[in-house]
Amino acid sequence: EHCSYLPTIQHPCIFCTQTMSADIVVIEYTALLEDPGESDASNELQEKLIAAFGTDKSLGIVAIRGVPRFLDARTTFLPMAHRLAHLPHDYLENELGDPKTLYNAGWSHGKEKLGDKPDTAKGSFYFNPLADTPGSPELRDQFPLSYPCNVWPDDEKMPGFEANAKDLGSIMHKAVVRVSLHIDALAKKRLGDSYTDNMLYKQMQATDKAKGRLLYYFPIESSDTSASGEEASTPEDSWIGWHNDSGFLTALAGDMYVDDETGKPIDKSLIDPAAGLYAVDRSGKTVRANIPEDCMAVQIGECTQIITGGAVIATPHCVRGGGLKEDGGNGTRVARISLPCFIDTGPTFPLCLPTGCSRKKAIGSGVGNAKVPPLQDRWEDGMTFGDFLQKTFATYYDWSKK
């Protein structure tokens, strides 16, 4: 899902028949609780993580089944996005919008760019599930966009919203921490002593820099027609444009579809099968990524690709809009709800290659693709995470206007 730091890049309609659908590699949460080692169970888990993150067919995503309390927390929180998105406009903009953080906290709609135009396809509510006031006062002053303070709706208007947002985000963070430990083990096995023991795990465990993004995708308007008078097809990146996640690890809560008017959930079997999350593997193949309904998922960001020397890779991805397969003439307008949660280090963390690992290897391990700006144009060995994000944001903005 969309990294909150980046403008959206939208390409012409390049969705085509050779786009395939693929099931994401699934691991059990109980396997993550085992410490890395040489047991059969540990080796099996490593093989699955390599399949998810480290081969030519990897999508850079792994699904996790059996995360304690995750399904109940998701079922409670995600539907709240419909009520939030339909609160009075003035309340959303004046009480929940936070212009001083460039809308990196609270409500944001039409503030991000789609090319050089406001992106109104979706509304976002940003929150930190780990801390209302993250970082120290000094760090918040120095890096206001990295450490925004939370803005919450009144409990009268959105009963239970804050508590349930924090609950689901915290559950997802704990799962990410366990995944990070096993990514460290994978990188250590490939790189040996040049990789610092448990480096990612220690950062993910200690961080208070987490950003949940509750997304409400407004219905795709079907009135557009082509020059021939036929209904125009939906671009493959109509809800979120092509991008790489530029941070470390992204937790995904899956998605759900609702009737935009009533908020009533719509069974996914009724939704256009072309709608949803797409990713590009290292061979350049575009694949619809199916996260099982009983799973959350974790996606690799570019910073993790860098610090592991390309042992794991970030992959371009987007979200394609869609409605019902067969509307039946009832005019149902379909909205989508999702929750990515970006788990990152602080902005001063140095993005350094492992000793003896070449820049070419770290970058070349990733996906070379015209859909996103090249990593080599945005990162220099040793630059801080904060500087990398600034460079990336500027590069994506210029790229999105091409």
**Max Cα–Cα distance, the chain, nearest Å:** 63
State the chain's mean pLDDT as an integer.
87
What confidence score (pLDDT) does residue 237 get? Answer: 62
What confidence score (pLDDT) does residue 225 get? Answer: 34
179 has pLDDT over 50: yes
How far apart are the C-alpha atoms of 349 and 352, rounded to whole Å?
9
How far apart are the C-alpha atoms of 135 and 148, rounded to whole Å?
9
364 has pLDDT over 50: yes
Q: What is the 3-state secondary structure (H, E, C) of the chain?
A: CCCCCCCECCCCCCCCCCCEEEECCEEEHHHHCCCCCCCHHHHHHHHHHHHHHCCCCCCCEEEEECCCCHHHHHHHHCCHHHHHHCCCHHHHHHHHCCHHHCCCCEEEECCCEECCEECCCEEEEEECCCCCCCCCHHHHHHCCCCCCCCCCCCCCCCCCHHHHHHHHHHHHHHHHHHHHHHHHHHHHHHHHHHCCCCHHHHHHHHCCEEEEEEEEECCCCCCCECCCCCECCCCCCCCEEEECCCCCEEEEEEEEEEECCCCCEECHHHECCCCEEEEECCCCCEEEEECCCCEEEEEECHHHHHHCCCCCCCCCEEEECCCECCCCCCCCCEEEEEEEEEEECCCCCECCCCCCCCHHHHHHCCCCCCCCCCHHHCCCCCCEHHHHHHHHHHHHHHHHCC
How far apart are the C-alpha atoms of 170 and 155, rounded to whole Å?
20
pLDDT, average across residues 344-366: 89
What confidence score (pLDDT) does residue 239 get? Answer: 81
- Quick one: pLDDT band at residue 251, thresholds 50, 70, 90? very high
Contact between 247 and 256 (Cβ < 8 Å): no
279 closest CA partner among 36, 86, 61? 61
- How far apart are the two ends of the chain, measured CA to CA in Å? 22
How many other C-beta atoms can be found within 10 angstroms of the C-beta atom of residue 68? Answer: 12
Non-local (6+) Cβ contacts of 100 within 8 A are: 144
How far apart are the C-alpha atoms of 111 and 213, rounded to whole Å?
14
Q: For residue range 28-54, what is the model confidence (pLDDT) as tens digits?
A: 999 999 999 888 999 999 999 999 998
Six token digits for residue 130? 């780990």
What confidence score (pLDDT) does residue 352 get? Answer: 96
- Quick one: pLDDT band at residue 328, thresholds 50, 70, 90? low
367 has pLDDT over 80: no
222 has pLDDT over 80: no
Q: Which residues of 10-19 are buried (b: 16+ CB within 10 A; e: fewer)?
A: beeeebeeee
Q: For residue range 387-402, what is the model confidence (pLDDT) as tens digits?
A: 998 888 777 656 555 5
Q: Give the amino acid at 44.
A: E
- Quick one: pLDDT band at residue 284, thresholds 50, 70, 90? confident
114 has pLDDT over 90: no
119 has pLDDT over 90: no
How far apart are the C-alpha atoms of 109 and 333, rounded to whole Å?
19
What confidence score (pLDDT) does residue 20 get? Answer: 60
113 has pLDDT over 70: no
Non-local (6+) Cβ contacts of 254 within 8 A are: 74, 291, 293, 295, 296, 297, 338
Strand partners, 243: 317
